[in-house]
């Protein structure tokens, strides 16, 4: 049986892309993933995450990361909610992995609803295969299921890589990218003051970004 785990990194930040990671493994290999010591990516150091991401790729049948840019998020938010965007993104990963069973970290306050909506979206693309697919959608699934922990790790490592590339390109420390981070907010304010707008790697539809632009 082919088992998939799916989780995201970067849903909340005002800076950078969102990465939705998927890891596919045969059921017999799940213990190997567990023995690697995978855990919720937020509880691991960057160095440990990078090491584990490399190991996960050795044991997994397939690893897929779907990247959603800030401008794509902004455009999609004009016509749908963030919950709907998450369903679309998770479904893209499911479509790529095509597992028999999927464990997902629910990106909706209602975990069961997220699972139902995700399977419905997948059914549009693969109506026959979806009949055989089981989806387990839970909050904090990355702390419960090693296959989801693995997905969380590869997603987080990829997002960190992309943010580091941004920082290298512009020569500025962006902080964590979260609206609550003083360093991130200071960057937004300084950039807005200097350029009269915000760069393409910022989510302009975020309230933090809109407030900064109002104040310029």
132 in the same domain as 38: yes
Instruction: Please report the pLDDT score of residue 32 as a whole number.
Output: 86
Q: Say if residue 148 is in the same domain as residue 191.
A: no
37 with 143, same domain? yes
Sheet holding 134-138, edge to edge: 62-68, 18-26, 2-9, 101-105, 134-138
Q: CA 40: distance to chain centroid?
A: 13
Q: Do 193 and 144 lie in a common domain? A: no
Let me know whether 106 and 179 are in one domain. no
CATH number (domain holding residue 189): 1.10.10.460
Domain count, the chain: 2
Domain co-membership, 174 together with 187: yes
Q: pLDDT (tens digit, 9 = 90+) per residue, 137-153?
A: 999 999 999 999 999 99
Q: Band of the pLDDT at 216, cuts 50, 70, 90?
A: low
Among the listed residues 26, 43, 1, 27, the one whose alpha carbon sits nearest the alpha carbon of residue 142: 43
CA distance 118 to 140: 17
Q: What is the predicted pLDDT for the residue at 42?
A: 75
Residue 40 scores a pLDDT above 70: no
- Same domain as 186, residue 138: no
pLDDT value at position 69? 98
Q: Which residue has the higher pLDDT, 34 or 11?
A: 11
Structure token pair of residue 212: 């900064």
pTM: 0.95
Q: How far apart are CA 73 and CA 131, in angstroms?
A: 30
Yes or no: say if 107 and 83 are a contact pair by the CB < 8 Å rule: yes
Give tens-digit pLDDT for 184-212.
999 999 999 999 999 999 999 999 999 99
Whether residue 186 sits in one domain with residue 134: no
Which residue among 124, 149, 165 closes a domain?
A: 165
Task: Please check whether residues 46 and 85 belong to one and the same domain.
Answer: yes
Residues 128 and 25 in one domain: yes
**Residue among 122, 120, 132, 113 at smallest CA distance from 22:** 122
CATH of the domain at 117: 3.30.420.10
Q: Do residues 37 and 91 share a domain?
A: yes
Could you list the residue range(s) of the whole structural domain that residue 23 is in? 2-165
Give the helix ranges, DSSP H, for 126-206.
146-170, 182-195
What pLDDT, in 10s, does the model give residues 6-33?
A: 999 999 999 999 999 999 999 998 888 8
Same domain, yes or no: 159 and 94 = yes
The whole-chain average pLDDT of the chain stands at 95
pLDDT above 90 (res 37):
no
Using the 3D structure, point to which of 129, 147, 165 is the last residue of a domain: 165
For range 50-73, the mean pLDDT: 96
Bridge partners of 155, per DSSP, are none
């Amino acid at each position: 049986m082919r088992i998939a785990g799916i989780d995201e990194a970067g849903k909340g930040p005002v800076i950078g892309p969102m990465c939705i990671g998927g890891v596919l493994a045969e059921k017999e290999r799940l213990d190997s993933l567990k023995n690697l010591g995978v855990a919720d990516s937020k509880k691991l150091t960057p160095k440990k995450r990078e090491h584990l991401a490399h190991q996960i790729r050795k044991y997994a049948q397939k690893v897929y990361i779907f990247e959603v840019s800030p401008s794509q998020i902004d455009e999609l938010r004009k016509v749908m909610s963030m919950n709907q965007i998450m369903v679309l993104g998770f479904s893209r990963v499911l479509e790529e992995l095509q597992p028999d069973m999927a464990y997902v970290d629910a990106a909706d306050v209602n975990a069961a609803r997220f699972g139902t909506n995700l399977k419905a979206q997948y059914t549009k693309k693969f109506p026959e295969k979806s009949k055989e697919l089981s989806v387990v959608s839970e909050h904090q699934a990355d702390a419960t299921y090693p296959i989801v922990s693995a997905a969380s790790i590869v997603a987080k490592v990829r997002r960190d890589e992309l943010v580091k590339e941004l920082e290298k390109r512009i020569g500025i420390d962006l902080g964590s990218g979260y609206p609550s981070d003083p360093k991130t907010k200071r960057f937004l304010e300084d950039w807005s003051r200097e350029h009269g707008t915000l760069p393409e790697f910022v989510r302009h539809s975020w309230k933090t970004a809109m407030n900064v632009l109002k104040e310029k």
